Chains A and B, each alone.
Chain A
Amino acid sequence: MNLLTLTTALLVLAALAYRVGQRRALRLRTDQRLAALPSHYGAYVALWCGLPAAALLVLWLIGESQIVRLLVVGALPAESQGLAPAQLDLVLDEVARIAAGTNLFEDDSLAAAAARYSALRGISDLAKAVVVMAAAVAGLVAGQHLVVARLRARDAVERLVRGALMAASTMAILGTIGIVASMLLETIRFFQQVSPLAFFTGLEWSPQTAIRADQVGSSGAFGAIPVFAGTAMITLIAMIVAVPIGLMAAIHTAEYASPRARAIIKPLLEVLAGIPTVVYGFFAALTVGPTLRRLGDTIGLDVASESALAAGLVMGVMIIPFVSSLSDDVINAVPQALRDGAYALGSTQSEVIVRVVLPAALHGIVGAVLLAVSRAIGETMIVVMAAGLAANLSANPLQATTTVTVQIATLLVGDQVFDSAKTLAAFALGMVLFMATLGLNIIALRVVTRYRQAYE
C-alpha cells in the first residue's frame, strides 16, 4: 500500500469517526444534557482516530529508511561493509536503485543486498499500513467510548486546535532560528580565515581566492566597505525617490482625493508593488540605464551603462507603493477630532495637514520609511541586473557599483567549494544584511506600535 492510499484511508476513517462521535452524542442527547455540541464530539472522536495514527505514520517514515539501511549493510559484500560512511551511502543508494530496477548497469556483488532491501521494504510497507490503520481503529473505538454526556469535548478540541496553532508558530520561529544558526556557523568559519577587522574596515573587495597555490591574480581581499557603501548609496537614491513621492501620494489619497479618485489611485499604486522585481530589473538595465547614459553624453557627463543611479531610481519606483500605502494608513488613523479641532481654529486644509495631521502621523510615517529602507537594502534582482559588479569605493552615482546582495548572489553562483573564504564571505555578508534589516524592522515596529498606542 503506498503512502497516498494510506493517508486517504486514514482520512476516510477519521471522517467516519466524526460521524460515529456525532451520532453517539445525538443519541446521548435524547435523555441527557450534553456539555458541548454534537459536532464537537464528532471532532473529538475524529481527532482520537486520526492524530495518534498520523503521528505513528510520521515516526515510521522518519525511522524506516534508517532501520532498513542498518539491516541491508549486513548483506553487503565484506569489502563494502568496511567503507567510510560517505562511500557507504553511495553504495546503499546503488542498492536501492538496483532494487527499484533503475540502476544503469548490473552489479552482481550487490544482488544479495538488493534482494534483501526489496524484501525489507515490502515488509515495512505492509507493517506500516497495518500498524497505522490499527492505531486509527483503536483510536476510534477509544474515542467513541470516551464520549459521555459530561465530557467537555469542545474544550478538548479547542485545546488541541490551540496546540496545533502554537506548533505552527513555533515552527516558523524555529525556521528563522535555523536559518540564522546555519548562517552564523558559516560566518564563524569565515572569520576564522579572514579577520573581522579586515572585513569591516578593509577598503578593497576582490573575493577571488586561488584554487591552486601557483595561480596568478587572485590574492583575495575581503574589505567589505565598498560593498556596504554601494548598498548605502543605492538605498539612499531609492529613498530620495520613494519617500517624497510616496508620502505626497499618500497625503493626496488620504486628504485630498475624492472617494472615487481614491478608489482608482490606490489599486493602481498597489499594482506597482505587484510587479516582479525581475521586471523592474529589465526596466532598469534596458531602459533607464541606457537613457541615463545618453542623457549624460548630451551634457558631457560620463555615465556608465550600469550605474548606481539607474538601479537606485528604479528601486525607488518599486518602493513607492510601500511608503504610500503604509503612510496612507497612518494618516487615515489620525483621529478626525484633531482635524476638526484645527479647522475650528480657522486653519486652511494645508495648515491642518502640515501642522496637525503630519506631526500626529510622524511616528507611523517614520516606521513606514524604515520598513521601506530595509526592503531596499535587501532588494537583489534590480541591482544584480542594473548596478554592475565592480566594487568601486566611490561616491559617484554615475558609475557602476555593487551591493551586498549582488555580491552574495555572484559569490554563490556556479560551482563552489564550501570551505573557501570566497564562498564563506557570502555568509558573512548575508549575516550583516540580516542584522541590518532585522534591526531596522524591530525599530520600525516599535515606532509604529508606539504610534498606535497614542491613539487607542
Chain B
Amino acid sequence: MALTARRQVLETEPLATAKTAKVAAHGVTVFYADKQALEDVSMDIRGHEVTALIGPSGCGKSTFLRCMNRMNDTIAICRVEGEILVDGVDIYGPGVDVVHLRARIGMVFQKPNPFPKSIFENVAYGPRIHGLAENKVALDDIVETSLRRAGLWDEVKDRLNEAGTGLSGGQQQRLCIARAIAVSPEVILMDEPCSALDPIATARIEELIDELREKYTIVIVTHSMQQAARVSQRTAFFHLGVLVEQGDTEQIFTNPVEKRTQDYITGRIG
C-alpha cells in the first residue's frame, strides 16, 4: 500500500523541542485489523497552544487524536504501536490507568453528544465519578465555573434542571466542552467540533477555544483551513496516514515546505 514509502521526518522548526512538549508522539503506527491507518507519526504538542490537525478525509487525523486519550482501546480491532508521552510518561506503558488518563485528557466529539440528563447533571457527571467535589456546594461551584468557561452560563443558568438534549446544536457542543472542562483536564482533544454547527455557533466556539488556550492545551481536528488558520498556533498536515508536515500555523499556510501541503491548502488535493 501507499504507506510503504518511507516518510521523511520534517521538523520545520528545530527549536520546537526546546519549548516544553506537553504531549510527544514517537513513531506512532496504528492498525485497524490488517489495515494500516497511521505510519510512524512523531510530533510534539506544546502546552497552552492550539494545535490543528488538517488533512483530507480518511488520512488518520481522528485516529491520531484518539491515540492520545487511548479511546482507541474501545475499538477491539485497533492496535497502536510506538509511544506517546504525556509530561514525559508513556501513556501506553504498563501501570498507566486509562480512566485516570482520560480524566487528564478530555475529548469533544464531532457531533454534540450530551447525556440524556439535565444540563447540571451533564456537567456534574465527570466531577461525580472522579469524586472531585466534597459536597453539593463545591459541585455547584464546579458546574458554574465550567459553564462560565464554556461561555454557556448566561444562557442556561435559569434552566439547569432542563434536559441537555433540549439545547440548540451550538449550545449542546458548548455543554460538551463544559462537561470536559469540569474534570479539569490538562489537554482537550476536539474532533471537528464545529462541523455540525452553523457559522455563528462556530464563531462562538472558535472564540471559546482561543480563551481556553490560557488554561488548557488544545488539539483540534478540522476540515476548514480558515478555522485552522484562525484558532491554531501550530498546524500538522496528514496525508494517507503519514504526517507530512508540521510547524507554526502561519508558516504552514503562507510558506509550506512540502509540495503536498501546498496542494492541499490551495485545494488541489483532498
Most chain B beta carbons < 10 A, residue from A341, A346, A348, A359? A346
- Docked-complex contact A345 and B113, CB < 8 angstroms: no
User: Shortest Cβ distance from A402 into chain B, in angstroms?
Assistant: 43
Kindly identify which residue among B103, B117, B165 contacts A345, using a CB–CB cutoff of 8 Å: B103
**Which residues of B from 57 to 79 have beta carbons under 8 Å from A?**
69, 71, 74
User: Shortest Cβ distance from A83 into chain B, in angstroms?
Assistant: 73
Which residues of A are found within 8 Å of B107, using beta-carbon distances? 344
Kindly identify which residue among A335, A337, A339, A343 contacts B102, using a CB–CB cutoff of 8 Å: A343
Known: A337-B109, A454-B165. A345 touches B102 (CB 8 A): yes
- Docked-complex contact B115 and A344, CB < 8 angstroms: no
- Docked-complex contact A341 and B113, CB < 8 angstroms: yes
Which residues of B are found within 8 Å of A344, using beta-carbon distances? 69, 71, 102, 106-107, 109, 180
- Docked-complex contact A360 and B129, CB < 8 angstroms: no
Return the CB mask of A344-355 against B: 1 if under 8 Å, else 0: 111110010001
Complex Cα spacing A339 to B116, Å: 12
User: Shortest Cβ distance from B62 into chain A, in angstroms?
Assistant: 12
Interface of A is mostly: helix
A side interface size, CB within 8 A? 19
B side interface size, CB within 8 A? 26
Complex Cα spacing A356 to B179, Å: 14
Known: A343-B71, A346-B99, A346-B130. A359 touches B116 (CB 8 A): yes
Complex Cα spacing A337 to B179, Å: 15
Q: CB-nearest residue of chain B relative to A455?
A: B116
Which residues of A are found within 8 Å of B129, using beta-carbon distances? 345-347, 351, 355
Which residues of B are found within 8 Å of A435, using beta-carbon distances? none
Most chain A beta carbons < 10 A, residue from B69, B109, B113? B113
Q: CB-nearest residue of chain A relative to B101?
A: A346
A210 at interface, CB cutoff 8 A? no
Complex Cα spacing A346 to B99, Å: 4
Kindly identify which residue among B100, B111, B115, B165 contacts A342, using a CB–CB cutoff of 8 Å: B115
User: Shortest Cβ distance from B114 into chain A, in angstroms?
Assistant: 8
Which residues of B are found within 8 Å of A359, using beta-carbon distances? 115-117
- B interface residues with partner A (beta carbon < 8 Å): 69, 71, 74, 99-103, 106-107, 109, 111, 113-117, 125-126, 129-130, 165, 176, 179-180, 183
Extra inter-chain contacts (7) besides given A341-B115, A345-B129, A360-B116, CB under 8 Å: A337-B113, A338-B115, A345-B102, A346-B183, A347-B99, A356-B115, A359-B115
